[in-house]
Structure 1
Amino acid sequence: MGGLHKYLKTNEGQMKEDLIRLMEAESPTMDKQAVDACGDVIRGLFKDYFNETPTVYPETVQGDHLSFTIGQGTKARVLFLVHFDTVWDKGRLTIEEKDGRLYGPGAFDMKSGIIQAVWSIKSLFDTGISLDGLTIDVLCTSDEEIGSQTSRTLIEETASKADLVLVTEGPVHENGALKTSRSGVGIYELIVRGHSSHAGSHHHAGRSAIKELAHQILHLEGMTDYSVGTTVSIGIVEGGTRVNVVPDYARATIDFRVKTMEEAERMVKAVEGLTPFTEGVTLEINGELNRPPMERTPDTVQLFAMMKEAASKVGMDLEEAHIGGGSDGNFTSGIGIPTIDGLGGYGDGAHANHEHIVIDELPKRTAMIAETLKQLQDHGFTKQSD
Structure 2
Amino acid sequence: MIIERLREYVAAETPTGDAAALNAFADRLADRYGELGGTVRREPSPTGDHLVADFPGRGPRAADAPLLFLAHHDTVWPIGQLENAMPWREADGIIHGPGVFDMKGGLVILETALERVADRDHRPVRVVVVADEEIGSPSARALVTAASAGVYAAFGLEPPHPNGDLKTSRWGSTRVRIEVTGREAHAALDPASGISAIDELVDQLIAVRQLIAGYDNVLCNVGTITGGGRTNVVPGSAAADIGFRFVDPETERAVLDAVAGLTAVRSGAELEVRVMSNRPAWQPSGATDALLAEVAAAGRSVGQDVGGAAASGAADTNLTGWLGVPTLDGLGPVGKGAHAVHEQVIAATLAERVDLVAAIIRSL
**Match in the other structure for 2:160:** 171
Give the percent of matched residue pairs that are identical in Structure 1 and Structure 2. 34
Q: Give a deviation string over 1:135-155, Cα, whole Å, max 9, x none.
A: 211122333234324332222
Aligned to 2:21: 34
Instruction: Assess if the C-alpha contact under 8 Å between 2:228 and 2:234 holds in 1.
Output: yes
Q: TM-score, normalised by structure 1?
A: 0.79
**Contact 1:22–1:42, Cα closer than 8 Å, also in 2:** no
Aligned with 1:68 (options 29, 42, 54): 54
2:248 maps to a residue whose letter is: T
1:190 aligns with 2:183: no
Contact 2:52 2:126 in 1 (8 A): no
Between the aligned partners of 1:58 and 1:199, the Cα distance in structure 2 is 46
1:84 and 1:214, CA in 2 relative to 1: closer, same or farther beyond 3 A?
closer
Distance in 1 between the 2:238 and 2:46 partners? Answer: 35
CA deviation string 1:205-261 (max 9, x = no partner) = 876655544443222113336974212233334556666777665433322111222
Partner of 2:42: 56
Structure 1 CA distance, aligned partners of 2:234 and 2:9?
A: 54
Q: Distance in 2 between matches of 1:170 and 1:327?
A: 10
Q: The residue matched to 2:68 in structure 1 has which SS?
A: strand
Q: Which SS does the other structure have where 1:54 is aligned?
A: strand
2:108 counterpart of 1:115: yes
Q: Which moved more, 1:237-246 or 1:102-111?
A: 237-246
Q: Deviations over 1:10-61 (max 9, x none)?
A: xxxx22233233333333344434333323332343344x333422334455
Report whether the alignment pairs 1:321 with 2:320: no
Mapped contact 1:307–1:369 kept (Cα < 8 A): no
1:333 Cα deviation after fit: 2.4
Q: Does 1:365 align with 2:353?
A: yes
SS at match of 2:272: strand
- The 3-state SS of whatever aligns with 2:124 is strand
Distance 1:58 1:251 in 2: 29
**1:166 CA displacement:** 0.6
Counterpart AA for 2:356: M
Q: How many angstroms apart in 1 are the aligned matches of 2:46 and 2:174?
A: 27
Shift of 1:158: 0.7
Equivalent position SS for 1:223 = helix
Aligned partner of 1:11 in structure 2 is none
For residue 64 of structure 1, report the CA deviation from its aligned partner.
5.1
Q: Say whether 1:80 aligns with 2:69.
A: yes
Kindly indicate whether residue 90 of structure 2 is the aligned counterpart of residue 97 of structure 1: yes
Q: Does 1:307 find its partner at 2:295?
A: yes
Bigger CA drift: 52-61 or 159-168?
52-61
Show the counterpart of 1:266: 254
C-alpha contact (below 8 Å) 1:43/1:54 kept by paired residues: yes
1:275-314 map, 5 Å: 275-277=263-265, 281-314=269-302
Decide which of 148, 152, 157 is 1:159's aligned counterpart. Answer: 148
- Cα pair distance change 1:210/1:139, threshold 3 Å: closer
Q: Match of 1:145?
A: 134
Note the alpha carbon deviations across 1:161-219, whole angstroms, 9 max, x for none.
Answer: 312111101112x2222222222222222234556778789888876655544443222
Decide which structure has the larger Cα Rg and report it.
1
Give the residue type in structure 1 aligned to 2:23: D
| AA of the residue aligned to 2:344 | H
1:112 aligns to what SS in structure 2?
A: helix
Q: Which residue in 2 is equivalent to 1:224?
A: 212
Distance 1:101 1:265, change over 3 A: same
Residue 280 of structure 1 deviates from its aligned partner by: 5.6
CA distance in 2, matches of 1:107, 1:33: 21
Q: 1:342 to 1:197 in 2, by over 3 A?
A: same
Seen in structure 2, the aligned counterparts of structure 1 residues 301 and 43 have a Cα distance that, compared at 3 Å, is same
Higher deviation after alignment, 190-199 or 210-219? 190-199
Matched residues in 1 for 2:157 and 2:176: separation? Answer: 28
Indicate how the Cα distance of structure 1 residues 36 and 212 shifts in structure 2: closer, same or farther if over 3 A, else same.
closer
Per-residue deviation, 1:157:
0.8
Gaps of 5+ in 2: none
